[in-house]
Amino acid sequence: MQSANFIIGVFELVILIFSLSVHECSHAWMASRLGDQTARLQGRVTLNPIYHVDPIGTLIFPAIAIFGPFIGLSMFSGMLIGWAKPTPVISRNFQKIRRDENLVTLAGPASNLLLVLIAFLVLVFIAIAFPGGHDIVRSPFQLGETGGVFSAVQAVALLSTLAVFINLSLFFFNFVQFNILDFRRHFFHVSIICHLHKCLREVASPWLIHFLDPRILAQIQIPRHNEFQITE
């Protein structure tokens, strides 16, 4: 059980770093499209985490929150806190400052919502295209209990489920920031994610499972994995 939780923690950190990178890259890309090349000149229009990582907010704080309980640090147990390096933006480079500022700000949450959609579609595919896929999707955190081994399909299901939870949290929390927090014009708000794992798994998991119910998935016609034939 301890090793399974450690694997979940590693996957969680990887998804968080990737999601924050996509979020900040989206800010930078939109700013570049609208006329401000500041972030592009700093190499921020990339999914490479190296250009978006904040050592404290992206690595240290999340690592303490995720792996702290394994060494007795339970202060942040059940809570994931993290942020990426803010994307530099010079508003005077925009043609329509107010509109373009809003578009650049909204690009981040929109990218997280897109990741949620992609991850959800992956879960749907696993549920209907693989034998026992529905059980794997219904219990993504029960590693090794659905088929006796921790398979590649279970790994993808776990990554996709974590992607849904983390990116939904990023999406909603950034809208709170959009309305409440306002950094100076040179920087857009820091991407911060703060959510309770138990709450997400108890509230979001039933919602996710509802849409992955066999009666609903039966309406989608996709050939199952064992129905494919390879001929030489």
Catalytic residues: 24
3-state secondary structure of 122: helix
3-state secondary structure of 80: strand
- Angstrom CA distances, 198 to 33, 58, 95, 203, stand at 40, 22, 45, 8
Q: Give me the residues paired with residue 83 across strands.
A: 192
Cα–Cα distance, 9 to 70 (Å, whole number)? 10
Strands 192-196 vs 79-83: parallel, antiparallel or unpaired: antiparallel
Cα–Cα distance, 92 to 86 (Å, whole number)? 18
Q: Give me the residues paired with residue 82 across strands.
A: 193
Answer whether 128's CB lies under 8 Å from 212's CB: no
Q: Give me the residues paired with residue 88 across strands.
A: 187
Cα–Cα distance, 97 to 169 (Å, whole number)? 28
Q: Give me the residues paired with residue 81 across strands.
A: 194
Cα–Cα distance, 31 to 37 (Å, whole number)? 7
